[in-house]
Amino acid sequence: MHSWLAALLVSAAPTVVLAQTAAESEVYTLGELHVTAQSRTGEALGGSVTSGDTLQTFNKQTVDQALSLVPGVNASNTGGSRNERVVYVRGFDRFQTTLSIDGVRVFLPADNRIDFARFLTADLAEIQISKGYVSVLDGPGGLGGAINLVTVKPTAELEGEIQASAFFNRKLESEGQLLSGRVGGRTGDFYWQASGSYMDRDHFTLSDNFKPTPLEDGGVRENSQTSDWRINLKAGWQPNDTDEYSINYTRSEGEKNAPYSVSDPNSRYWKWPYYNISSVALLTRTQVAEGLILRTRLYHNTFDNLLQSFDDPAQTRQSIPRAFDSYYQDHATGGNIQLDYDLSPTSRLKGVFYARRDVHHERQDGFIRTPSSGSPSINTPYSEPWQTNDENTYSLAGEYTTALSPAVELVLGASYDWTDLRVANDMNVSVSGATIANSVINMQPVHYALRNNEAWNGQAALLWRLDEATRLHASVSSRARFPTVFERFSSRFGAAIPNPDVREERATNFEVGADLQVTPDINFTGAVFYADLQNALIQIPVVVPGFGTVNQTKNAADGHYYGFEASAHATLTDTLEAGGNLTYLHRKLKDPTNPDFRPTGVPDWKLFAYAAWSPAERLTIRPSVEYADERWTVTTTSPLTYYRTGSYTLLNLSADYQVTDDVTLTLAAQNIGDQDYQLTDGFPEAGRSFYASVRARF
């Protein structure tokens, strides 16, 4: 780590309390998850909570941007044709980390390749993040982490807010805008709320230091436009302090393009005309007897998606085999029933049954090259019928919390997860016939073997309160993650062969951490962690006779991740506070077929630091810095070559002016140094940019 970086951390020292929560009265508590172990009084053992106010303060409009603030978590992008925004929690990727909205799991039944930039943050009260230890009560799949987006709940008879933001490049030319708002109220035992947000980014602009290539001339980043909107409706009844019942509806719709690699001339030309997710959910909490609470969560989710591939970079033609329209129509129905029982004044037992049915429908319209005998071949269009994958996933879990002494609490958890694969279909498309005139397009249904999965999970955590200002914790958690439909059955456009027999992968996470209130004005949290990853799913080269070498997903990799994270916050004077966080993470993952293989997407060192200075009563100025050192990436051209990207340091500055008690004006600059940097091979990030925002509450 550079010496200047260490000095900067010391000088900025104590960090922004990114673990601070929004005002509890505004948090929709029914939508919270126990994403990590908790004491009987609700104290979290590890993990982080980032408030909605923090997201507003640092202009984080999407979930991937928001999570980049959190120690142990970093944002990146996939590169390639999809170019999706992703996050890594202590090195674990989006397949190994669960995402929920108000406690309802967001799971894409085919591949779960979640694009975190499609989720807007404007109406969030907080984001809960677990790292390493994911409570077994929250269902299967939390191998390395869990993320839960919690919305706001109204507290007044009538309340609301509206925000409008505009984004500009380094020349102050418009790049996009954001509009969000919410209105709600509470009358007696009943509450209601409607919230929504809309963001349209026409493009982003590369750094002036970007060196043009034959594929990218700099300036406006071609094909970088996105458009997203989201609504959230809720109505609830809270007849007393213990009981609450709420019905929620969430829908988000997106449209996005995907910039092409600036270095790979063989890029595929893809875009998504729609990327839509919806959810309707019923959440309840009922005290059925003294010391006995029943919680339920029932939901129905949908996911509709169209991926279009074109012949040409301008995206005007579809006529050759690389061009297609790929449709997804998915839905998931599920829920969980949980009982919390106070066995004694010092012990609590929780049990939960979780079930989800995932149904994936897909089809493709494409082109296939027909045979030729003495004349040029032609590309003939075809349309596949719908194919289906249908799978149930279940979990039965229990958690026991007890006080070993007035200062020490123990949490024990275990679960059994299993699947029931009911249908797994695909379609093989081929051409027969010796000439164009007598050629026939054949569509042969494929029915894969119906193999089920099962896994046990276990975990334990210990909380020790040394005094009112000091807490220590230690935990161990062994969790499994089942392979997706994509990992088992996808041919990846002819580059892979299916493997219905692929099994679950497993990680065992260890953590020791501390939370110290050093003085009334200085708080420090930190943790050291180690993860042992076994049977990890990776692509392995396989030779197919008569066809050549292709890839296949196998449980072939093993490795370990380890590191530490530290976060602090300090109020230095009545007008000055400062903070930040620091993460060190080392990952080692072995591919037995490729000694050059490296896990990509995550830097070893990551820093965020800031200060907030109020020189006048209504004015706050916030400088901040984001630093990440080199990370591994891999080229998309053959031969595939692993190399490290450069490190980067982003300097940012914002100013908030409180026009009235209810109206705030914000002006800000990001990447002031206009640094040219990339997170993955061939995909440079935005240069210097500005934004202006006005926010009003009533």
Answer whether residue 78 shows pLDDT above 60: yes
| Mean pLDDT within 414-429 | 95
> What confidence category does residue 21 fall into, taking pLDDT thresholds of 50, 70 and 90?
very low
pLDDT at position 374 = 58
Torsion region of 572: left, alpha or beta (phi above 0 gives left; psi -120 to 50 gives alpha): alpha
Burial class (CB in 10 A: 0-12, 13-18, 19+), 568: buried
Answer whether residue 614 shows pLDDT above 70: yes
Task: Kindly report the average pLDDT of the chain as a whole number.
Answer: 91
Q: Are 18 and 69 in contact (CB under 8 A)?
A: yes
User: What amino acid is encoded at 517 in this protein?
Assistant: Q
Cα within 13 Å of Cα(375), Cβ side: 6
Answer whether residue 9 shows pLDDT above 70: no
- What is the DSSP code (8-state) at residue 109? T
> What confidence category does residue 20 fall into, taking pLDDT thresholds of 50, 70 and 90?
very low
Cβ neighbours, 10 Å, residue 659: 12
Look up tokens 């980390």; give the residue.
97
Answer whether residue 39 shows pLDDT above 70: no
Residue 580's nearest CA partner among 565, 572, 568 is 568
> What confidence category does residue 15 fall into, taking pLDDT thresholds of 50, 70 and 90?
very low
Cis peptide bond prior to 623, omega within 30° of 0: no
Q: Are 131 and 47 in contact (CB under 8 A)?
A: yes
Pair type for strands 145-151 and 97-101: parallel
Report the Cα–Cα distance between both ends of the chain, in Å, rounded: 47
pLDDT at position 565 = 97
> What confidence category does residue 25 fall into, taking pLDDT thresholds of 50, 70 and 90?
low
Look up tokens 């066809």; give the residue.
547
| Mean pLDDT within 464-491 | 93
| Mean pLDDT within 17-23 | 38
**Could you give all domains of the chain from N- to C-terminal order, each with its CATH number?**
3-191+216-697 (2.40.170.20)
| Mean pLDDT within 575-600 | 95
> What confidence category does residue 607 fall into, taking pLDDT thresholds of 50, 70 and 90?
very high
What does the alpha-carbon distance between residue 449 and residue 444 come to, in Å, rounded to a whole number? 16
Answer whether residue 415 shows pLDDT above 90: yes
Residue 365's nearest CA partner among 393, 422, 399, 326 is 326
What does the alpha-carbon distance between residue 232 and residue 193 come to, in Å, rounded to a whole number? 8
Q: Are 195 and 229 in contact (CB under 8 A)?
A: no
pLDDT at position 5 = 36
> Best-predicted range by mean pLDDT among 28-32, 83-87, 411-415?
411-415
What does the alpha-carbon distance between residue 575 and residue 529 come to, in Å, rounded to a whole number? 36
Answer whether residue 45 shows pLDDT above 80: no
pLDDT tens figures, 502-535:
999 999 999 999 999 999 999 999 999 999 999 9
Q: Are 343 and 328 in contact (CB under 8 A)?
A: no
Cβ neighbours, 10 Å, residue 444: 9
What does the alpha-carbon distance between residue 207 and residue 113 come to, in Å, rounded to a whole number? 29
Q: Take residue 413 and report the two structure tokens written for it.
A: 């958890």
pLDDT at position 436 = 66
Look up tokens 């980067």; give the residue.
648
Q: What is the pTM of this model?
A: 0.92
Answer whether residue 22 shows pLDDT above 70: no
Q: Take residue 151 and report the two structure tokens written for it.
A: 């919305």
pLDDT tens figures, 121-170:
988 999 999 999 999 999 999 999 999 999 999 999 999 999 999 999 99
* Residues 6+ away with beta carbon under 8 Å from 117: 62, 63, 64, 65, 84, 85, 226, 256
| Mean pLDDT within 84-108 | 94
pLDDT at position 24 = 41
Burial class (CB in 10 A: 0-12, 13-18, 19+), 383: exposed
Torsion region of 671: left, alpha or beta (phi above 0 gives left; psi -120 to 50 gives alpha): left
| Mean pLDDT within 651-680 | 96
pLDDT at position 491 = 82
pLDDT at position 490 = 86
- DSSP secondary structure, 323-366, as one string: -EEEEEEEEEEEEEEEEEEEEETTEEEEEEEEEEEEEEEEEEEE
* Residues 6+ away with beta carbon under 8 Å from 415: 136, 140, 395, 396, 397, 398, 456, 457
> What confidence category does residue 13 fall into, taking pLDDT thresholds of 50, 70 and 90?
very low
